[in-house]
Amino acid sequence: MEEKIAKIKDWLGSGSINIFGLPMSGKDTQGIMLAQALGAKLLSSGMIIRAKEAETKQNLTDNGNLLPTNMFYDWVLPYFERPDLFRQPLILSSIGRWYGEENAVMSAAAGAGHEIMAVILLNVSEKDVESRFESAKILNDRGDRKDDDNIEVFRNRMKEFREKTLPVLYHYRDLDLLIEVNGNQERDKVFNEIVEKLYEKASQSPV
């Protein structure tokens, strides 16, 4: 495992890996684990947007809808230029969820020296993420997030993923950047599959 991680780090350089999936598919969990393994910084669009909403006293995504694209550009894309991220590899948690945003994300990332090298899709069914939603409500382990408290809002988030984010992933697939991973496993097994597939991609890249 250590040799494979080293190979991935060498291949990644200061580039970035973008992780997608349905709500509660484990994006942030796997993002944190991957960032720690690779010595990378984690950027989560959800965390950035929630912080900006609190700062500006706006509730634009409480109903489960995606942030309007113009606001996404203003709020999220400038993070790529942050001085503390200069020459650092990045793990991105769903940066650019609305079809059409992916081109601006790739451009902003590359322009800041964080070229997107791979995009990971955590495949978990809607039925399974709804089960995770119900379990999280019982365990109360998601903090005070309103979008994880209302099943209709949660289902709207899934609808937004189907209609707006899946086309983003099809585009990344056409660019040969997409890596699909079975997200319906124990988290360590999910992580191991991510490492294996990133290692395979890194090994296939020209030196």
* Residue 68: CATH number of its domain: 3.40.50.300
List of residues 6+ apart from 174 with CB closer than 8 A = none
Cβ atoms of 16 and 117 closer than 8 Å: yes
Give the integer Cα–Cα distance in Å for 20 and 168.
10
User: What percent of the chain is modeled with pLDDT above 70?
Assistant: 94
Identify which of 43-52, 106-115, 127-136, 140-149 has the greatest average pLDDT.
Answer: 106-115
The full length of the chain comes to 207
**What is the pLDDT at residue 137?**
75
Cβ atoms of 21 and 27 closer than 8 Å: yes
Query: Is the confidence at residue 176, as pLDDT, over 80?
Result: yes
Query: Is the confidence at residue 140, as pLDDT, over 90?
Result: no
Cβ atoms of 109 and 80 closer than 8 Å: yes
Neighbours of 56 (CB within 10 A): 11
Supply the mean pLDDT for the chain. 93
Record the pTM. 0.92
**What is the pLDDT at residue 207?**
58
Average pLDDT of span 46-57: 93
Cβ atoms of 133 and 148 closer than 8 Å: yes
Q: How many domains does the chain have?
A: 1
Average pLDDT of span 141-145: 50
Neighbours of 75 (CB within 10 A): 19
Domain hosting 170: range is 2-204
Q: What is the pLDDT confidence band of residue 148, given thresholds at 50, 70 and 90?
A: low
Cβ atoms of 195 and 5 closer than 8 Å: yes
**What is the pLDDT at residue 165?**
97
Average pLDDT of span 170-193: 97
* C-alpha pair distances (Å), 2 with each of 5, 8, 38, 89, 199: 5, 10, 10, 18, 11
Give the integer Cα–Cα distance in Å for 202 and 113.
18
Alpha helices in 150-205 (DSSP H): 151-160, 166-174, 187-204
Query: Is the confidence at residue 195, as pLDDT, over 80?
Result: yes
Give the integer Cα–Cα distance in Å for 2 and 92.
22
Placement of tokens 């990133």 in the chain: 198
Average pLDDT of span 35-49: 95
**What is the pLDDT at residue 150?**
86
**What is the pLDDT at residue 206?**
72
User: What percent of the chain is modeled with pLDDT above 90?
Assistant: 87
Phi-psi region of 7 (alpha: psi -120 to 50; beta: other; left: phi over 0): alpha
pLDDT in tens, 69-120: 999 999 999 999 999 999 999 999 999 999 999 999 999 999 999 999 999 9
